[in-house]
Amino acid sequence: MKILIKIIILLIIIPSKSFSLIEVDITRGNLDPLPIAVSPLSIDENSRQNFEKILKKRNIGEEISKIIEVNLKTSGLFNPLNKDAFLQAPDIANLKPRFEDWNLIKAQALITGKVSYLDEKLRVEFRLWDVLAGKEMVALAFTTVPTNWRRVGHIITDKVYQRLTGEKGYFDTRIIYVAEEGPKTKRIKKLAIMDQDGANNKFLTLGNELVLTPRFNPTSQMVTYLSYFRNLPRVYLLDIETGMQEVVGDFPGMTFAPRFSPNGKKIIMSFAKDGNSEIYTMDLENRIVEKITNHPSIDTSPSFSPDGKFICFNSDRSGYQQIYVMKSDGSNVKRISFGKGLYGTPVWSPRGDLIAFTKLHKGKFYIGVMRTDGSGERLLTENFYQEAPSWSPNGRVLIFYRETKTDDKGEGFSAKLWSIDLTGYNERMVKTPTDASDPSWSSLLSN
């Protein structure tokens, strides 16, 4: 459990209630990102040298502020300003910003801070300022082991994001995905995990067997996925820290499309037998297996609502792939997708209000969202091939994968991760060391 770190958050000053302070509206497109100045976290010479020895980084204060900047920019809601224009030195700005100076470069918000070396630990304090009002909005300090310095940057971003948008952030998170290599006809696939910003990439399997569709449990310490170990496609469970793996259940055939229930106690998945795929759950504590659907059609891609009371899933019982919702005991099955085309991969939003999906219509693939009764369908992005959306823990961003069309010789294939804002804006490729597919977003690692 080395990743489960102990962060001591000392609330220096409880932020005062804000009526007139700045706010960022995340329910609309990011046409006008908020100009924000991220002053490099100041550091005294002694601390700088100590961290340089431990972390091989010349100035850890600057490095942390770079992480914050990249996070803010990637969100599409903020426009971090060029540091060359900053007039005030970092150490002085952290004590008392000269708001006129920051106002001059059009900054509306300002982040300042200080890093110090304290009993072999990394101590960070930071402040968020409203430049126009000339007021402090957040002030926090925490202490952690030095190797956690990247997470410090993510946690600060989460606090800033939360203070300015009113909703929790999604920066101190990780992505589990399938790393892909080799020709399309003989693809080698491995489970891989990385920080949300692509750092600390790590492979979890060797690529000896085909692996697909990894998904986190609610605490993000376990993963359920499909493995073709010994050419038997089965749902597995993997403990990320210990590397322990086990088969889920004892089914006489292929199990696939696994996900955790919202409390992490059950796995919901499909079991295919005699040409018929049905949805089952298995309780991880008492191993009790329950059959949820009962229909001769294909029933797959199940996903629980966050309160655990409903399940959305994919079925072709109408003749073609459509999205259905039922109660978690399998009763009250209702079709909710009625637009033109085929619908697949429904995933319930962590906020509970929306279902994200993949749609195929006239040879194009779309990622979209609809309300849980099927109304208000909105397509966010169109492409040759893309599927498998996964929600950020705050339900504001979707990550999915996209494949390119090959040329006449069958060359030029690639698979990459992409993210898009729920508003349909801010579509970005998520950099990975290899080709990538089947992303799953973790919960917030620190709260």
Partner 1 sequence: MKKSRIRNIDQGAIMKLNKILKNTLLIVFACFALSACATSKKSTGQMQGDVYTGTDTVEYLASGVPDRVFFATNESVLTTASRETLRKQAAYLRKNSKITIVLEGHADERGTREYNLALGERRANAAKDYLMTYGISSDRISVLSYGKERPVDSGSNPLAWSKNRRSVTVKAN
Question: Which residues contact partner 1 by CB under 8 A?
Answer: 183-187, 210, 212-213, 226, 231, 233, 253-254, 256-257, 270, 272, 274-277, 298, 300-301, 314, 316, 320-321, 344-345, 358, 360, 363, 384-385, 387-388, 403, 405-406, 408, 410-411, 413, 438
Q: Which is nearer to partner 1, 233 or 339 (CB)?
A: 233
Contacts 24+ apart (CB under 8 A), 426-431: 426/30, 426/75, 426/76, 427/381, 428/74, 430/175, 430/198, 430/399, 431/198
Structure tokens at 52: 């340089």
Which alpha helices (H) appear in 114-168, and where do they start and end?
149-165
**Please, what is the minimum distance in Å from the beta carbon of residue 213 to partner 1?**
7
Q: Which is nearer to partner 1, 108 or 437 (CB)?
A: 437
Q: Which is nearer to partner 1, 258 or 393 (CB)?
A: 258
Q: Which is nearer to partner 1, 196 or 277 (CB)?
A: 277
**Please, what is the minimum distance in Å from the beta carbon of residue 185 to partner 1?**
5
Q: Which is nearer to partner 1, 129 or 256 (CB)?
A: 256
Q: Measuring CA to CA, which residue among 233, 184, 238, 240 is closest to residue 212?
A: 233
Other residues' Cβ atoms within 10 Å of the Cβ of residue 241:
12
Single-letter residue type at 151: R
Q: Which is nearer to partner 1, 71 or 277 (CB)?
A: 277
Kindly give, in sequence order, each residue whose CB lies less than 8 Å from that of residue 382, ignoring residues fewer than 6 positions away.
Answer: 364, 365, 366
**Please, what is the minimum distance in Å from the beta carbon of residue 404 to partner 1?**
8
**Please, what is the minimum distance in Å from the beta carbon of residue 372 to partner 1?**
20
Single-letter residue type at 263: N
Q: Measuring CA to CA, which residue among 322, 328, 327, 368 is closest to residue 341?
A: 322
Q: Which is nearer to partner 1, 308 or 410 (CB)?
A: 410
Kindly give, in sequence order, each residue whose CB lies less than 8 Å from that of residue 233, ignoring residues fewer than 6 positions away.
Answer: 226, 227, 254, 255, 256
- The helix or strand, by DSSP H or E, that contains position 301, with its residue range, turns out to be strand 299-304
**Please, what is the minimum distance in Å from the beta carbon of residue 201 to partner 1?**
22
Residue with tokens 């900054």: 107
**Please, what is the minimum distance in Å from the beta carbon of residue 321 to partner 1?**
6
**Please, what is the minimum distance in Å from the beta carbon of residue 227 to partner 1?**
12
